[in-house]
A and B are shown apart, each in its own frame.
Chain A
Amino acid sequence: MNTPLLSVRDLHVNFGTSEGDVQAVRGVSFDIDRGETLAIVGESGSGKSVTASAIMRLNFGADIRVSGSALFEGKDILSMGEEEVRKMRGSDVAMIFQDPLTALNPFYTVGNQISEAYTIHHPGTSKKELRALALDAIEKVGIPEPVKRIKQYPHEFSGGMRQRIVIAMALINQPKLLIADEPTTALDVTVQAQILELIGVMQEENGTAVILITHDLGVVAEVTERVLVMYAGRLVEKASVIDAFASPTHPYTRGLLNSVKSLDSDRHSRLEPIPGIPPSLIDLPTGCPFHSRCRYAASLNGRCSTEVPELKAVGNSWSACHLPVDLLAAPIKESL
Chain B
Amino acid sequence: MFYFIARRSFFAVILLFVVSIFTFWIFSALPADPAALTCGKNCRPEVIEANRIRLGYDKPFIEQYGSYMKGIFVGRTYGEDESGVHCAAPSLGYSYDRHECVSSLVAKTLPVTASIAFGAFVLWMVFGIALGTLAALRRGKWPDHFATVFSVIGISFPSFFLGLLSVLFFVIWTKILPFPNYVGITENPFEWFTALILPWSVLALLSASTYIRLTRNGILEVMNEEFVRLGIAKGLPRKKLIVKYVLRAALTPIATIAGIDLAFLLGGAIVTESVFNLPGLGKLTIAAVVNSDLPILVATTLISALFIVVANAFVDIMYGFLDPRVRTK
- CB of A298 closer than 8 Å to a CB of B: no
Complex interface residues of chain A between 106 and 129 (CB less than 8 A to chain B) = 106-108, 116-117, 120-121
Tell me what chain A mostly uses at the interface: helix, strand, loop, or mixed.
mixed
Q: Can you list 20 residue pairs at the A/B interface with Cβ under 8 Å? A: A58-B229, A58-B233, A86-B235, A87-B235, A90-B235, A95-B233, A102-B225, A105-B227, A105-B230, A105-B245, A105-B249, A106-B325, A107-B248, A107-B322, A108-B244, A116-B236, A117-B234, A120-B236, A153-B328, A169-B234
- CB of B324 closer than 8 Å to a CB of A: yes
Residues 45-59 of chain A, each 1 if its beta carbon lies under 8 Å from chain B, else 0 = 000000000001010
Residues 254-271 of chain B, each 1 if its beta carbon lies under 8 Å from chain A, else 0 = 000000000000000000
- CB of B43 closer than 8 Å to a CB of A: no
Count class of interface residues, chain A: 20 to 34
Q: Tell whether, in the assembled complex, residue B237 and residue A86 are in contact, meaning their CB atoms are under 8 Å apart.
A: yes
A172 to B245, alpha carbons, bound, how many Å? Answer: 20
Q: Tell whether, in the assembled complex, residue A58 and residue B232 are in contact, meaning their CB atoms are under 8 Å apart.
A: yes
Say how far A179's CB is from chain B's closest CB, in angstroms. Answer: 9
- CB of A155 closer than 8 Å to a CB of B: yes
- CB of B226 closer than 8 Å to a CB of A: yes
Which of A91, A94, A106, A121 gathers the greatest number of chain B CB atoms within 10 Å?
A106
Number of A-B contacts defined by CB within 8 Å: 73
B234's partner among A62, A90, A156 (CB-CB below 8 A) is A90
Tell me what chain B mostly uses at the interface: helix, strand, loop, or mixed.
helix
Q: Which residues of chain B have C-beta atoms less than 8 A from A166's C-beta?
A: 230
- CB of B231 closer than 8 Å to a CB of A: yes
Q: Tell whether, in the assembled complex, residue B323 and residue A107 are in contact, meaning their CB atoms are under 8 Å apart.
A: yes
Q: Which residues of chain A have C-beta atoms less than 8 A from B227's C-beta?
A: 102-106
A166 to B231, alpha carbons, bound, how many Å? Answer: 11
Q: Which residues of chain A have C-beta atoms less than 8 A from B229's C-beta?
A: 58, 97
Which of B233, B245, B248 gathers the greatest number of chain A CB atoms within 10 Å?
B233
Say how far B253's CB is from chain A's closest CB, in angstroms. Answer: 12
A62 to B226, alpha carbons, bound, how many Å? Answer: 18
A52 to B238, alpha carbons, bound, how many Å? Answer: 21
Name A91's closest neighbour in chain B (CB-CB): B235
Name A95's closest neighbour in chain B (CB-CB): B233
Q: Tell whether, in the assembled complex, residue B235 and residue A107 are in contact, meaning their CB atoms are under 8 Å apart.
A: no
Q: Which residues of chain B have C-beta atoms less than 8 A from A105's C-beta?
A: 227, 230-231, 244-245, 248-249
Q: Tell whether, in the assembled complex, residue B226 and residue A156 are in contact, meaning their CB atoms are under 8 Å apart.
A: no
Name B240's closest neighbour in chain A (CB-CB): A120
A200 to B325, alpha carbons, bound, how many Å? Answer: 32
- CB of A88 closer than 8 Å to a CB of B: yes
Residues 27-63 of chain A, each 1 if its beta carbon lies under 8 Å from chain B, else 0 = 0000000000000000000000000000010100010
A155 to B248, alpha carbons, bound, how many Å? Answer: 17
Count class of interface residues, chain B: 20 to 34
Complex interface residues of chain B between 312 and 329 (CB less than 8 A to chain A) = 322-325, 328
Q: Which residues of chain B have C-beta atoms less than 8 A from A90's C-beta?
A: 233-236
A108 to B227, alpha carbons, bound, how many Å? Answer: 11
Q: Tell whether, in the assembled complex, residue A155 and residue B324 are in contact, meaning their CB atoms are under 8 Å apart.
A: yes
Q: Which residues of chain B have C-beta atoms less than 8 A from A169's C-beta?
A: 234
- CB of A99 closer than 8 Å to a CB of B: yes
Top 9 A-B pairs, shortest CB-CB distance: A90-B235, A89-B235, A90-B234, A102-B226, A153-B324, A95-B233, A105-B227, A103-B230, A103-B226
Q: Which residues of chain A have C-beta atoms less than 8 A from B238's C-beta?
A: 86
Q: Which residues of chain B have C-beta atoms less than 8 A from A117's C-beta?
A: 234
Which of B227, B238, B245 gathers the greatest number of chain A CB atoms within 10 Å?
B227
B325's partner among A56, A99, A121, A153 (CB-CB below 8 A) is A153
Say how far A254's CB is from chain B's closest CB, in angstroms. Answer: 34
A103 to B229, alpha carbons, bound, how many Å? Answer: 8
A309 to B121, alpha carbons, bound, how many Å? Answer: 65
Q: Which residues of chain B have C-beta atoms less than 8 A from A116's C-beta?
A: 234, 236
A165 to B225, alpha carbons, bound, how many Å? Answer: 18
Say how far B291's CB is from chain A's closest CB, in angstroms. Answer: 52
Residues 61-98 of chain A, each 1 if its beta carbon lies under 8 Å from chain B, else 0 = 01000000000000000000000001111110011010
A289 to B245, alpha carbons, bound, how many Å? Answer: 41
- CB of B45 closer than 8 Å to a CB of A: no
A117 to B230, alpha carbons, bound, how many Å? Answer: 10
A90 to B240, alpha carbons, bound, how many Å? Answer: 15
Q: Which residues of chain B have C-beta atoms less than 8 A from A102's C-beta?
A: 225-227
Residues 189-219 of chain B, each 1 if its beta carbon lies under 8 Å from chain A, else 0 = 0000000000000000000000000000000
Name A117's closest neighbour in chain B (CB-CB): B234
Given contacts A89-B235, A105-B227, A107-B249, 10 further A-B contacts (CB under 8 A): A58-B233, A90-B236, A97-B233, A103-B230, A107-B252, A120-B235, A121-B235, A153-B324, A153-B325, A155-B328
Q: Which residues of chain A have C-beta atoms less than 8 A from B60's C-beta?
A: none
- CB of B140 closer than 8 Å to a CB of A: yes
